[in-house]
Amino acid sequence: ITSAESVLVTRQSQEELLRVFSERKYTDNKEVTKDVSLIVISLSPQPVLSLAARYKLTPEDATRKLAGYFKSLGADLVLDMTVAEDLSLLEAQQEFLQRYQDQQS
């Protein structure tokens, strides 16, 4: 593993995630606690499906449980990336068909 890969792995650890959640608030000089950032979690289909299979849940139940867990940690938004992945596949299909048709003409 290269040093650059090591840095990326470190930035994606459980410890780093918990640190981000814990440090997203600060107390100002008037003892008022304020948010300093918006935390958005994106759930991609593959890990959700793996967890659903492992714990014998439906994909929807696994998504709900993960979203609830991340919300309980302090996430502002939890996004299901299934629709984004589907849109990406549709766009790739359209691009392929357009290029294929352009070559045939």
Confidence (pLDDT) at 9: 74
Same-domain status, 22 and 45: no
| First-to-final CA distance of the chain | 48
Are 24 and 39 in contact by the 8 Å Cβ rule? The answer is yes
Same-domain status, 27 and 47: no
Q: What is the mean pLDDT of the chain?
A: 88
Same-domain status, 10 and 45: no
What's this model's pTM, rounded to 2 decimal places? 0.67
- Domain limits at 2? 1-36
**Alpha-carbon gap, residue 61 to 19, rounded angstroms:** 27
Structural domain total, the chain: 2
How many residues are recorded in the chain? Answer: 105
Q: Please, which pLDDT band fits residue 26 given cuts at 50, 70 and 90? A: low
Same-domain status, 74 and 44: yes
Amino acid at 33: T
The dihedral formed by the CA atoms of 57, 18, 11 and 44, expressed in degrees to the nearest 10: 20
Q: Please, which pLDDT band fits residue 71 given cuts at 50, 70 and 90? A: very high
Same-domain status, 81 and 49: yes
Confidence (pLDDT) at 76: 92
Same-domain status, 53 and 102: yes
